[in-house]
Amino acid sequence: MKIYFASEFDAQSYDRLASCEGLAATWVNSLHRRLDKQKIENWQMRLFGPV
């Protein structure tokens, strides 16, 4: 959880987490998206709703 929700982009940790057996497919897909885009998705809408 700490790796996934960290505020800093960390490709090596994301790759390690994505390879964990039993990790939900949605999390694996999210981690692969981060690795492809080289950035963390924007959480503002989920956290605060429409502004």
What pTM was computed for the model?
0.83
Q: Is the pLDDT score of 51 beyond 80?
A: no
Between CA 20 and CA 8 the distance in angstroms is 20
Between CA 47 and CA 36 the distance in angstroms is 24
Cβ burial of 28 (10 Å; 0-12, 13-18, 19+) is: middle
Q: Where are the domains of the chain?
A: 1-43
Between CA 24 and CA 2 the distance in angstroms is 16
Tell me the pLDDT tens digit for each residue of 24-50: 999 999 999 999 999 999 988 888 998
